[in-house]
Amino acid sequence: MTFSARELRLLALPVLACIALLAAGSALIIWTTGKRVAEERALAAAREERSQARERLMRIAEEEREVKEKLEIYRRLKDIGILGEEQRLEWADAMARIRTQLELPDLRYRVERQAPLKTVPGKPANVEFYASTMHVVLALLHEGDLLRFLEDLRASGNAYYAVRSCSVTRSGQAVTITGLSPRLRAECDIDLITILDRAAKA
């Protein structure tokens, strides 16, 4: 059966209406399916969140013990100045004091600019670890002076001192009868590590 142009025109509207209805129906299905998928995702997330909250609540006794234990260390870190902003003036004072106390013939140092330390993933974003590398050149009468210098430096606080490298060489100067001249020369690179906790209360 072939249709004339007039008949095709008469058929066009119902066919278009049919297509429009089917398209509207399909759109309805797509929309509700999208909504359903989104809700299923939300359900999965809500289940996960509830599971984590329950788990956290169940671990609360362990957490309390952990908090008590870690709080001691945290307070200590704060007390000795590792936690907080860098105290460069304090470092300079400490270096001068140590030189005087150990009667070191020569002590030169240079502290580089601060840089963040790479840390493990999952750490809260508002806790940052920084390091400033200090290059120290010491003139020593005896190798024990180096050990005492490091010990005094650690005791001075205001940072965690992580020694990266140290070299000790003979300075080549002979021992004189009249006075003591340095026999050894030491060079060390030490990281001065500080922790910045932005959630910490003053």
Residues 106-165 that bind another protein (CB under 8 A): 117, 119-120, 123-124, 126-127, 129, 143, 146-147, 150-151, 154, 160, 162-165
- Alpha-carbon gap, residue 57 to 53, rounded angstroms: 6
End-to-end Cα distance, the chain: 91
Residues 78-107 that bind another protein (CB under 8 A): 78, 82-83
The full DSSP string for 142-198 is SHHHHHHHHHHHHHH-SSEEEEEEEEEEE--PPPPSSS----EEEEEEEEEEEEEET
Question: Residue 89 or residue 120: which is nearer to another protein going by CB?
Answer: 120
Residue type, 170: R
Question: Token digits for 31?
Answer: 């929309």
Question: What's the min distance (Å) between Cβ of 175 and another protein?
Answer: 15
Residue 167 or residue 178: which is nearer to another protein going by CB?
167
* Residue closer to another protein, measured from CB, 97 or 164: 164
Binding to another protein in span 35-54, by CB under 8 A:
35-36, 39-40, 42-43, 46-47, 49-50, 53-54
From 84-92, 101-109, 132-140, 167-175, span contacting another protein (CB under 8 A) = 167-175
Q: Is 21 in the site for another protein (CB under 8 A)?
A: yes
- Which range of residues in 31-39, 85-93, 101-109, 175-183 is near another protein by CB under 8 A? 31-39
Provide the token pair at 32: 């509700």
- In SS3 terms, 101-156 reads as HHCCCEEEEEECCCEECCCCCCCCCCEEEEEEEEEEEEEECCHHHHHHHHHHHHHH
What's the closest the beta carbon of residue 140 comes to another protein, in angstroms?
12
Q: Which is nearer to another protein, 63 or 93 (CB)?
A: 63
Find tokens 């020569």 and name the residue. 106
- Closer of 55 and 103 to another protein (Cβ): 55
Give the residue carrying structure tokens 């590398």: 133
**Among residues 165 and 178, whose Cβ is nearest to another protein?**
165
